[in-house]
Chains A and B, each alone.
Chain A
Amino acid sequence: MNDMWLPILFLLIGVSLGLLTDVQVPAQYADYLSIAVLAAFDTLFGGIRAHLERTFDEKVFITGFFFNVSLAAFLAFLGVQLGIDLYLAAVFAFGVRLFQNLAIIRRQIIDQKLLTKFRKK
């Protein structure tokens, strides 16, 4: 876990950068941004999970990030064109995956803790 500080630091830098620059997205594009945020979080947690499972691959990670974000935005765009709230589909999918990933991460961490305890004994 000691190599997690850099991403967290960068996350904080990103947040403060966004807050300090005072950028605002026009209201009609807020949907796209929200879904992109969701996709980004999904990818991040997916990456953490893969890292814990030792199947992390940076190509998969990077492509996953951009592909998910753009697919989500495209779905939202298509939904607007068709008059269906298609972005809800993306919200649903990403939401479910977020929960799954978080559950797996939690189990992994608990397992690791238990393993280290056993080893100490």
Chain B
Amino acid sequence: MRNKARWMVSLICLFAGFMVAVQFQTTEAEPEIRDTRDEWEIREALQQEQQNQRELLEKIAGADKTLESYEVDSSQVQLNTLKQSIDVLEERIGLTEVSGGGVVLTISPIFFEGVSGGQTYPEVSPQLLSRLINDLNTYGATEIAVANERLTNLSPIRNVNGSTYVNNRPLPSLPFTIQVLTEQPAKLKDYMEASQARDFFNMENLELEVEMEESLTLPKYDAPLHLEILEGTGE
């Protein structure tokens, strides 16, 4: 190879090497994830984690107690323990009637007099209902029943052929009530009085009335639970 040619090839090699390096960096480079939280946010996150830890520890302690009673006691007592845990679980997922203090929301239609052309009878859409239930849960509702349909964690709220179904049953026509159990009924009532959900209901010509009740009894969820998508943890 003559000298000039050699330098040419070397120069091209330089180019090629540079391009390879740049390409490598481009493909390797990931957007850097930076921690931009300030001290206060970190403190809050830490507190949140501590809260989580405490809750987990409490759960573990409860489970340990149950386990212990299984191990120590006779079979009759074991059976009782089992029954008790089943009762507790059933109550927690809504398979039993519950009563307590809470609020009753009444949804009724608003009619305007003198509207020409007639007004269609308003309906509660699934989106609206979901929103309301989200709000209720946010403000501390423990148990909810929509028009005597107890809501569980698996309760669907959906639109079936134009009407709103809760727990796979159509909602009755308006007006109907939503019963909500909570630990602080007065607080929940205040929240709901001021909540945005009211405005959204008004936009759909629906009135949302909130009343406090000393004692409410919520019906139990009576349909079979479909747990196809759940699996055992395989211990």
Contacts and interface: CB of A to CB of B under 8 A. Distances in A.
Interface stretch (A22-30, A82-90, A98-106, A109-117): A22-30
B101 to A, nearest CB: 58
A16 B21 contact: yes
B20 to A, nearest CB: 6
Contact of A51 (B1, B16, B19, B27): B1
Contacts of B4: 58
Contact of B17 (A18, A47, A58): A18
Interface stretch (B7-15, B75-83, B86-94): B7-15
B26 A36 contact: no
B12 A3 contact: no
Contact of A25 (B9, B10, B23): B23
Interface residues of A, number: 36
Interface string A1-39: 001001111111111111100111101001001101100
Contacts of A62: 8, 12
A14 B25 contact: no
Interface string A47-72: 10001000010100110010000000
Contacts of A9: 10
B21 A14 contact: yes
B198 to A, nearest CB: 47
A46 to B, nearest CB: 11
Nearest to B8: A58
Q: Which residue of B10, B13, B23 has the most chain A CB atoms within 10 A of its CB atom? A: B13
A56 B5 CA distance: 9
A64 to B, nearest CB: 10
A14 B15 contact: yes
A9 B13 CA distance: 9
B29 interface: yes
Interface in B1-58: 1-2, 4-27, 29
A43 B22 CA distance: 19
Contacts of A7: 6, 9-10, 12-13
Contacts of B20: 14-15, 18, 37
Nearest to B2: A58
Given A8-B13, A47-B9, 12 more contacts: A7-B6, A10-B13, A15-B18, A15-B20, A17-B21, A18-B17, A18-B25, A23-B22, A37-B19, A41-B16, A44-B12, A44-B13
Interface of B: 1-2, 4-27, 29
